[in-house]
Amino acid sequence: MSFDLTYLGGAAARLSTWIDASYPSDLPPELVARRRIRKLVEEVGEAGAALCGAVGENPRKGVTHTFDDVKGELLDVAVTALGALEHLDGNRGGSGTGFANRLLMNPLLAGYITLSGDLLNDVGLCAAEYSRTQDGLHHPDLHPELHLSYRFSDLVIALGAVERAVAVASDLGRGINPTVERTLENIAVVALGVWEHLDGNRGRSGHALAEKLQFVLNRVGLTVEGAAS
């Protein structure tokens, strides 16, 4: 199955609309928004738990996860962040474009990437280059697990930025707050960057994210336009 860039926003909006419909109608809008952020906290925690399982952190349990499991959880972080963006923006399908622009227009990547014209593929290329820049901040002889731990710390820091932005926002129930929007886009970027690190920075994360969204939609019986067989 192939996807285009608009699929990301459309699929995230479709999923977010389904989640919103599950809430009692009398819940305050700010509480609903904070529930969506709490789900993001949960997903980051699950990614961290998967990493612990992949390296056998618990001596009683041993190795309980693979690094592919970790990559799957990182995609869940990105999906949840896009879904939260959609919720705050009225589920209009714009999260994919906004998220992609944050990557494609990153001034730190200017001159380092030759874009292909396939915007979803270019998202992956930019995420991979972003990951390489982050990898370059650390000594090349650094232990691989320690290197990965640093990258996961970036994810936790990005989550903290989301929570801080939400804490100071006063208009969560009246549309999207620009600061919250930026932090949600950023945590999706960081999650894809860590995914690329685990995947060898091959630029495949854009399509992997679309495929993850398709999987989640199929699992709950939803469909969305923008994917072609």
Q: Per-residue pLDDT tens for 24-37?
A: 999 998 899 999 99
Q: β-strands 2-3, 227-228: how paired?
A: antiparallel
pLDDT: which is higher, 35 or 105 = 35
**Residue 5: pLDDT above 80?**
no
Is-contact 1 13, C-beta < 8 A?
Answer: no
Question: The whole model's pTM is what?
Answer: 0.93
Of 35-44, 112-121, 136-145, 147-156, the poorest mean pLDDT is in: 112-121
What whole-number percentage of the chain has pLDDT above 90? 71
Please compute the mean of the pLDDT values over residues 174-180 and round it to a whole number.
75
pLDDT of residue 225: 65
Highest-confidence range of 1-10, 35-44, 90-99, by mean pLDDT? 35-44
The domain in which residue 74 lies consists of: 2-228
Confidence of residue 111 (pLDDT cuts 50, 70, 90): low
Please compute the mean of the pLDDT values over residues 71-78 and round it to a whole number.
98
**Residue 59: pLDDT above 50?**
yes
Give the three-class secondary structure for 3.
strand
- Measured between alpha carbons, how far is 119 from 103 in angstroms, rounded to an integer? 11
Please compute the mean of the pLDDT values over residues 184-195 and round it to a whole number.
96
Is-contact 93 186, C-beta < 8 A?
Answer: no
Of 114-118, 150-154, 169-173, the poorest mean pLDDT is in: 169-173
- 226: DSSP letter: S
**Residue 223: pLDDT above 60?**
yes
Number of domains in the chain: 1
- Measured between alpha carbons, how far is 134 from 136 in angstroms, rounded to an integer? 5
